[in-house]
Amino acid sequence: MPLETPTQPVNPRPAPSRRFCVAPMMDWSDRHYRYFARLISRHALLYTEMVTTGAVIHGDRERFLGYNPEEQPLALQLGGSNAQELATCAALAQEAGFAEVNLNVGCPSDRVQNNLIGACLMARPDLVAEGVRAMKAACDLPITVKHRIGINGRDSYEELCDFVGQVHAAGCETFIVHARIAILEGLSPKENRDIPPLRYEVVHQLKRDFPGLEIIINGGLSQLDTMTEQLQYVDGVMVGREAYHNPYLMAEVDRLFYDDQRPALGRIDVLNAMRPYIVRHLEQGGMMHHITRHMLGLFQGLPGARHFRRELSSSLHRTDQPLALYDQLTDDMSRRLAPRDCSA
C-alpha cells in the first residue's frame, strides 16, 4: 500500500492522559530509557526523541518508529514543515500504534532551523497550521504541538495568541508550551533551556484565554509539589531533565497525578525488572551501556548513589562480565538501602 494512503483503524485508541508527560529529549529518551521509565510510572505519557520526517520516510523505519509495547502510552514527536511529509509520517505513526503525534515547534538549534524545523516555525503559524491540517486528515491520532511562548522578534503575547489561534483553527486541541522564548541567534540549545527567563504566568494566561484547549506546561519543573500546583492553572505538566537525571521521582506520579494508589516498584525491584530486558538486548548484539547509561540517577540522593553511578558508568567498560557486575551492584545497593529505605 502506498505511504500516502493511510489505513483507518476500526476502533481508534482513546486519547492518552497528559497530566504528566516525559519530554522528548534528543539522545536521552530512546526506547531503552522509555522502557526503564515505564517500570517506575504506569501512567506517565512518554515521548520519543524528535525524529525528522525525512528520517522516517527515507530511513530505517524500525530504528525511528520501533518501540517496546510496554512503553505505551507513547507519543511520536516529529520534526518537519512539509505538509505532505508530515501527513505520510502521521499515517505511519498510526500504523505503528503510537498514541499521539506531536509536532516540534520548540527546538532552537541552528541545524534544524536551516530545514524549517523547530522554534523558527513560530514565525510561520500558517505553515504549522497547514501541517497540522494535513496530519489530521491522514490519521485518527491526536495531533499536538510543542512550542515556546515566543521567539526573538516575535515574542509578544498577542503574537503567541495568533500562533495558537491559527494552529487551533487547523484542528489542534493540545498545546505543550515551554514557558520561555527561544533565542534563535547567539544561544546554543542548552543555553536556550536556561538563559531566557521562565514565564509560567504567560502559559497560565494562555489557558485562561483559550479555556477549551488542553494546555500542558513545560520548562524548569523539578519538584513534585510545584508540578501538582501547576494543575490549578493548566491541564498537565511535561518534565524533561529532572525525569531523566532523577528518574525515581516518577514513582510518585501515578498516585499524585492519576489517583492510582497501587505501590510503585522499589528501586531494587526496578533493577531486577530491567535485567531480563538487558539480557535480551545483549543476546541481540547490543551493548549493555546502551541501556544502563539511562539508569545512573536511579539512587539519586541516597547512600551509595555515587558508587552506583561510578560502577555502572566506568567499571562496566572494563569488565568482560557486565551482567555479573550488574548483579553485584544490585546486591550492593540492596544491602545499603535495606536498613533505611523501605521502597528499595
For residue 5, pLDDT over 90 is answered with: no
Instruction: Kindly report, residue by residue over 241-274, the tens digit of the pLDDT.
Output: 999 999 999 999 999 999 999 999 999 999 999 9
Residue 227 CA to residue 258 CA, distance in Å, equals 13
For residue 4, pLDDT over 50 is answered with: no
Under the banding of pLDDT at 50, 70 and 90, the label for residue 337 is confident
CA proximity to 209, closest of 265, 244, 263, 165: 165
CA proximity to 86, closest of 139, 34, 156: 139
Under the banding of pLDDT at 50, 70 and 90, the label for residue 134 is very high
Q: Pick the catalytic residue from 107, 120, 139, 172.
A: 107
> Is 107 labeled as catalytic in the residue annotation?
yes
Q: Which CATH class is domain 267-337?
A: mainly alpha
Cell of 294: 539511562
Full-model pTM:
0.92
Q: Name the DSSP letter for residue 317.
A: G
Task: Tell me what pLDDT residue 271 has.
Answer: 98
* Average pLDDT score over residue span 163-184: 97
Query: What 3-state DSSP class applies to 20?
Result: strand
What are the DSSP E strand ranges found in the chain? Answer: 20-22, 45-47, 51-52, 74-79, 100-105, 143-151, 174-182, 214-218, 236-239
Q: What is the 3-state secondary structure (H, E, C) of 34-62?
A: HHHHHHHCCCCEEECCCEEHHHHHHCCHH
For the chain, give the percent of residues with pLDDT over 70.
Answer: 93
For residue 210, pLDDT over 90 is answered with: yes
Q: What fold characterizes domain 20-258?
A: TIM Barrel (3.20.20)
Q: What is the 3-state secondary structure (H, E, C) of 113-166?
A: HCCCCHHHHHHCHHHHHHHHHHHHHHCCCCEEEEEEEEECCECCHHHHHHHHHH
Under the banding of pLDDT at 50, 70 and 90, the label for residue 163 is very high
Q: Name the DSSP letter for residue 16.
A: P
Instruction: Kindly report, residue by residue over 278-294, the tens digit of the pLDDT.
Output: 999 999 999 999 999 99
CA proximity to 146, closest of 78, 82, 193: 78
Where are the chain's structural domains? 20-258, 267-337
pLDDT, greater one: 315 or 165: 165
